[in-house]
Structure 1
Amino acid sequence: MSASESTQALAFVLLVVFLAYVLVIMIPFLRRRPDPEGDPDRFSWHVFVPCRDEETVIGSTIDRLREQFPSVHIWVIDDDSDDDTAQVARARMAVSDHIHLVSRRRPEARTGKGDALNAAYQALTAWLPATTDHSEIVVVVVDADGRLAPNAFRQAAGPIAFGDPETGAAQAAVWMSNREADCPVPGDAGRFRQWWGRYLVRMQDIEFRTTIAAMQCLRGRTLSVGLGGNGQFTRLSALDRIAESAGSPWHGSLLEDYELGIHVMLAGYHNVYMHDTHVEQEALPSTRRLLTQRTRWCQGGMQCTRYLPEIFASPSITNAGALEASYFLLMPFLQLIGVFLWPTVFITMIAQGTISSGSFAAWLEASWWILPLIVLTGILPFAIWPFFYRRRSDTGASWLTAMAWGAGYWLYMYQSYECVLRAFGRLITGKNGWAKTRRNAEADRRLLAREV
C-alpha cells in the first residue's frame, strides 16, 4: 500500500469513527425521559464558589443562592484577589452565618482552581463536627457568575442521583445566561462586533445544550459522566475516599473538573448527568477569551490521558465507559492528526483525479458526487444540532433561523482546531499555567475591540 493509499485509509477510518460517535450520542439524547426528583432536606448542601478577582459578580451570586436556597452553606474561596472580592463576601457574612470565606495568599494562592477547591474542602471538613455523616453531605461547585436552576437540589436528591448511595457525583446541564438576542454585549464596539459577540454567545449555548448534553446522555448509559467546573455536585464521602488515596480530591490538571470525575469513578462510585436541571453561566462574546478558555480545556484533556491505564484496569469502570472516556481523551490528538491529514487527503485526491482524467475540469465533471458527500459527512454532523436546539429551547426561532444557526455552528466548531494546536504547543513546551477567563463585566471596562 502506497503512502497516499495509507493516508486515505486512515482518513476513512477516522471519518467512520467520528460519524459513528455522532450517531451514538444522538440516540440517547433524543430518546431520554425526565428524571424523578427527591427530597433535598435529606442532605446538607455546601456550595463552593472559587473566586479570583470576582467583585463584579460574586455579590449577586451569593444573594441569589441565599434567596433560592436559604439552608445552603456558601463557601467563597478568595484566591488572593486584587479587587474587593473578599470585602464583598465579608459584608454578607456579617448578616448570615451560612456564608464562609476561605482566604488564600500567594505564593500558595493562584496555583489553579483545583488547589482553591482543595482549600475549601479542608476548611469544610475542619468546620464540620467529628460525628457528621459525610455521605449525607453534598458539595456543589458553582462559578462566581453561576446561576443554579430552582429545581437543582431536588434533581440532585432524586433516586437516580444522590438518592442512590452508589452515586458519588452528578453534573447539571449548562446553559448560557446571556443567550437572548437582546442581551447586551459588553464593550464599546461597532455593529459588526456586537453581532459577532451575539453569534459566539448563541453558538456556545447551542454547543452546551445539544452536543455536550448529548455526550453526557451517552455517558449516563456508559456510567462515565464527565464533571464540569460549574454545576458540579459531589458527595463529601467520595471526596474523602479520593483524598485518602491521592492526598487531595482535586488535582493539578487544567481540566480539574473532568479529572475529579475520573477519580470519583476510580474510587468505586458512579457519576450521573442531570439534564432536567441546569446551571447558567456567561458565554464569552470575545474570540480571544473564547480561544483562551478552550485552549485550557483542551490542554487539560490532553493531560488527563495519563489516567487511561488506570481507567482500563479499574473494576469499577465499565468497558463501555472506558471506551467512551478513551475516545474523549484522545479526541484532541485525533483532531491534531486531522489538521494535517484532511488537507493532505483533499489535495492528493484533486491531484490524482486531475492526472487520471486529463484535466481538472474533466475530473470535476466526473466527480460531482464529492460535494454532496462533503455536505453529508463534513457539514451535516455539525449543522443538525441547531435544529434540535430550536425544538427543545424556548427561543421561538424559525426554521430559517435554525438553518442559519446550522451553518454558523458548523463554522464555529472549527475553533477547536486552532485550540488543539495551541494546547499541544503549550503541552510540549511545558506551559501549564492556569489562565483565568475574564468576566464580561470586567471586559466592559475595556474596549471590546481590543478583545476580538
Structure 2
Amino acid sequence: MNDSPTLVAVAMALSLLLGTVFLGYLVSLVVCFVRNRAQPPGDHTQFEWHILVPCLNEAAVVGESLRRLRSEFPTLHIWAIDDDSDDATADIIRAHQKNDIRIHLVARRAPHARTGKGDALNAAYQALCDWLPDGLSPDRVIVGVFDADGVPAPGLLDTIAADHLFGSQDVAAVQIEVRMLNRDEQHPVPGAGRLRNLAARTLVRMQDMEFRTTGAAVQLGRRATRTVALGGNGQFARLSALHAVSDDLGPWGSSLLEDYELGLRLKLAGHNSAFTRDTWVGQEALWSLRQLLTQRVRWGQGTMQCVRYMPHVWRSRTMTTAGVLEIAYSVFQPWFQLFASILYPLLLMLLVLRYAAHPEVINSFLADGGWGLLPAYFVFGVAQFGLWGPLYWRRCEPQAGFWRSLGWGFAYSAYIWLYWIATWRALARFTDGRNTWAKTRRNAEIAAIHEARAGS
C-alpha cells in the first residue's frame, strides 16, 4: 500500500476530498448563521395580504387556524382550498366564511382534485385573480402560503414588510423561518412508554434543529448567491412576480417540491427572493418515523424532478456563476447523497477485506500515519453535524443547557442518515414514474389510528 495506489487508498482519498470540500462549505454556513442580525420591521399596511391554505382532510386543525389568522391579522384575506376532503374540512371553512367576508373557500372536486399541492395552489391563485378589482397594483399584493396547522409569529406581516424585504422593489418573494410547535412536548405519543416517547421526542427536536439551524444557515448563505429558496410553509411572493412566471395553469409547477420549483421559476425570470429569521411560522413536527420518511421521500423525489430546470439555469443570463453553482448543488444533492451512500460503505468493506487478506499491510499503513485518518473521519462523519447542537442551544433554545445540546448534536448526526434511506426510496419512485402526492398524516390522525388498533 505504501508503494502503489490501491483501490482502498483511492477510495479513502476520494472520500477525504469530498469531506474536506463539504467541511469548507460547512464553515461558510456557520459563519452566515452566527453573523445574522435582526433588522427593524416595516409597515404592513402598505400592502394587501392574501394567504393560501391548502387543506386535505384538515378538519382537526383548520377551524382553529382560521380563527387564529383572522384574530392576529384583521386585514388579511384567507383562501382556504378544500382538495376534495373526506372529512368535515369544507363544512368548517363554510361555517367561518358565513360570518367573515375575508375568508374564501376554494372547493376542488374529483377528478380535478388531489392532483398535487401545486395544482391546489394554482386553483386558489386563479380564484384570487378573478376576485381582485381592476386597477390594483399587483406589486402591492402579497400572496403567502401557510400549512393548515400553521401558527404565525405576532407581527409577522410588519416584519416582512421591512425595507430590506418587501419594502425593497428588488425583492419579489420572501421565505420566513419555520419552527416546530411541539418541540417541548414531553409525551408526544399518547399512551406509549418512556422509550417510545423519548425516541419520538428526539425526532421532533431534530426537525426543529434542522429547520432553525442547518436549513436557516443554507438560506442565509444563499443570500450571497441570490438563490434563496421558497418552502412549502411560510412563503410569500408579490402577485406581480407570480403573474410573471405563470403558465396556463398558474405559477406553481407540477413537481412534488412545488415550493422550490416556484423559487427556481422566479429566479429564472430575473426575480430575487429573500430569507429572514426575524419572524417565523410554526408547524407540527412528526413523531412517526414512517410519516417522516414519507415526507422526506416526497421532498427527495421533488428535488430530482427539478433537474429538468438545469439546462435553463446554465443558459440563464440573470444568474451569477456562484448562483448557478449553488442551484446545481441543491438540485443534484440527492444524487450526491446516493453516491456517498455507496462510497463510504464500499470503503469500509474494502478495508475489512483488505485487512482480512493482508493484515500486515493495513497495520503498516496505520503505523506510517494512516491512523490519522480515523479522527478525520470522525470529524467529517459526526462533528460536522454534531456542532449544530451547541449552535442551536446558543441561537435558538438558550434555556436548554450545554450538555443537552451536545446530546442533540450527536442525535442529529444519526438523524442525517435518514436522508440516505429517503433518497434511495425517492430514486425508486422517480425511476418508476410514480408521481402521486403522498400527504403526511397529522399526529392526531396517527394517534387515533393507534388507539383504534389497540381497542380492537
Q: What is the TM-score when the length of structure 2 is the normalising length? A: 0.94
Q: How does 1:176-195 map to 2 (within 5 A)?
A: 176-182=180-186, 184-195=187-198
Q: Residue 342 of structure 1 corresponds to which residue in structure 2?
A: 344
Cα displacement (A) at 1:210: 0.3
- For residues 140 and 75 of structure 2, the distance between their equivalents in structure 1, rounded to whole angstroms, comes to 15
1:236-385 matches, within 5 Å, as 236-243=239-246, 247-352=249-354, 357-358=359-360, 367-385=370-388
Q: Deviations over 1:295-314 (max 9, x none)?
A: 10011011111111211221
Distance in 1, Cα, partners of 2:451 & 2:39: 41
Q: Distance in 2 between matches of 1:357 and 1:111?
A: 58
**Relative to structure 1, is the Cα distance of residues 373 and 211 closer, same or farther in structure 2, using a 3 angstrom cutoff?**
same
User: 2:177 aligned with 1:173, yes or no?
Assistant: yes
The alpha carbon displacement at 1:441 in A equals 1.8
8 A contact 2:53–2:145 mirrored in 1: yes
Gaps of 5+ in 2: none
Alignment of 1:42 with 2:46, yes or no, is yes
Matches within 5 A, 1:82-231: 82-182=86-186, 184-231=187-234
The answer to which of 46-55 and 336-345 deviates more is 336-345
Deviation at 1:49, TM superposition (A): 0.3
Whole-angstrom CA distance in 1 between matches of 2:188 and 2:444 = 10
Specify the alignment match of 1:80 in structure 2: 84
Match of 1:388?
A: 391
- 2:30 matched residue in structure 1: 26
Contact in 1 for aligned 2:126/2:250 (Cα 8 Å): no
SS in 2 for 1:436: coil
RMSD after superposition: 2.1
Alpha-carbon deviation of 1:202? 0.5
Deviation at 1:13, TM superposition (A): 3.2
AA matched with 1:261? G
Q: Please say if 1:431 is aligned against 2:434.
A: yes
Q: Decide whether aligned partners of structure 1 residues 412 and 166 sit closer, same or farther in structure 2, where only a CA change above 3 A counts.
A: same
By how many angstroms is 1:361 displaced? 6.8
Structure-2 separation of matches of 1:243 and 1:363: 60
Return the alpha-carbon distance in structure 2 between the equivalents of residues 395 and 195 of structure 1.
21
Per-residue CA distance 1:50-108 (angstroms, 9 max, x = gap): 00000000011111101110000000000000000011111111111000000000110
Offset at 1:447?
1.2
Match 1:415 to one of 404, 418, 424: 418
Residues 49-68 of structure 1 mapped to structure 2, 5 A cutoff:
49-68=53-72
What secondary structure, in the 3-state scheme, does the structure 1 residue paired with 2:164 have?
coil
Would you say 1:11 and 2:33 are equivalent positions? no
The offset of 1:236, in angstroms, is 0.5
- CA distance in structure 2 between the aligned counterparts of 1:355 and 1:71, rounded to whole angstroms: 74
> Does the CA contact (< 8 Å) of 1:187 and 1:445 recur in 2?
no
Residue type of the alignment partner of 2:294: T
Tell which deviates more after alignment, 302-311 or 105-114: 302-311
C-alpha distance in structure 2 between counterparts of 1:307 and 1:450, whole Å: 45
Task: Report sequence identity in percent.
Answer: 44
> When the two structures are superposed, what TM-score results if normalisation uses the length of structure 1?
0.95
Q: CA deviation at 1:371?
A: 3.2
8 A Cα contact 2:189 2:196, kept in partner: no
Q: Distance in 2 between matches of 1:396 and 1:324?
A: 35
- For 1:117 and 1:78, how far apart are their aligned partners in 2? 11
Q: Quickly say closer, same or farther: Cα 1:34–1:450, change in 2 above 3 A.
A: farther
Q: Could you tell me how far apart the structure 2 residues matched to 1:360 and 1:22 are? A: 31
The question of whether the paired residues in 2 share the 8 Å contact of 1:354 and 1:360 is answered with no
Q: Deviations over 1:223-257 (max 9, x none)?
A: 1001000001011011101115x652001110000
The code of the aligned residue for 1:52 comes to: L
Q: Distance in 2 between matches of 1:67 and 1:371?
A: 57
